[in-house]
Amino acid sequence: MTPSQSRSFLRWFTTTMRLVQRTNGPFKRTETLSQGSCDFRPRILIDVSKIDMTTTVLGFKISMPIMVAPTAMQKMAHPDGEYATARAASAAGTIMTLSSWATSSVEEVASTGPGIRFFQLYVYKNRNVVEQLVRRAERAGFKAIALTVDTPRLGRRESDIKNRFTLPPNLTLKNFEGLDLGKMDEAADSGLASYVAGQIDRTLSWKDVQWLQTITKLPILVKGVLTGEDARIAVQAGAAGIIVSNHGARQLDYVPATISALEEVVKATQGRIPVFLDGGVRRGTDVFKALALGASGIFIGRPVVFSLAAEGEAGVRKVLQMLRDEFELTMALSGCRSLKEISRNHITTEWDTPRDSPRPLARL
């Protein structure tokens, strides 16, 4: 990318992110980490000449607590699709999560070279297909399963309905190619909604988390938790970790933003399993907020897809570097030299009790 292209991309990306933050849908589809939700309490006069952002996720060391979330059908954004994202994540020394509904298969993504990769799983009505897919991911070197649990039915995605969304004829859901699972054909409203209604298992329950543990040795992350009650059940069910997610605010109106649900989930786990945040991260300051509230790391989705559409692999590399640089700067200006030094004392939130509220005057 030339300097002029880089500046052009930066302007485009910044403008797009601001637009996304202003447009969360016709209802309260809160996805972004709003500016007023957290304020920083920076510490001063600390030697921050060296900043260590490395961390370990499920035993795998990565360069920063910023990872790539599963986003479907990436070849609709760029011809290289998931290939580009996989290479960019590997170059950044971080984790990529491949969607079940990718336009590149687990084997194809594995062929791009070394890297730490997780596989996001939707559970189909045909459990034989699920077993085959999990085992293929395992053979291809994927290191964990991110089980999406908030989509027994597809939410009312009004843009998809308006546009009668479906895959272009030159693309397929590559992980299911050759299987008799029907196609994502055009429909009166959304082709994706029709596909989900026909294929995804609505009976999915907590016992299926335990069933998955019988067919794979891979750790299982439960993706889509928003309450402390479900966090406690996830621990009891043997989940290796939790991903706090509201599915990009596209499933259910009036759910909380991920930042608002995070602390409740973290407290409910009592440190027994790691908790990650997926959704709403747009800047390195957002990463700091999430870690201060107890997250072990964050996943980004929309920034990856937007940068992929703009500049392919170079765009994804750029956005990961931008977030890394912003996060490092935020750590330095907050007086934190390592991730373990980021604490709840470094932020205040809109739901906190005021720290220095005046005492009521005594009656005379």
- Active-site entry in 75, 247, 250, 318: 247
Contact 265, 228 (CB under 8 A): yes
Active site residue 78: no
Task: Report the first-to-last Cα separation within the chain, whole angstroms.
Answer: 73
Contact 287, 33 (CB under 8 A): no
Q: Which residues are CB-contacts of 191 (< 8 A; sequence separation ≥ 6)?
A: 164, 165, 166, 167, 184, 185
What is the set of active-site residues? 247
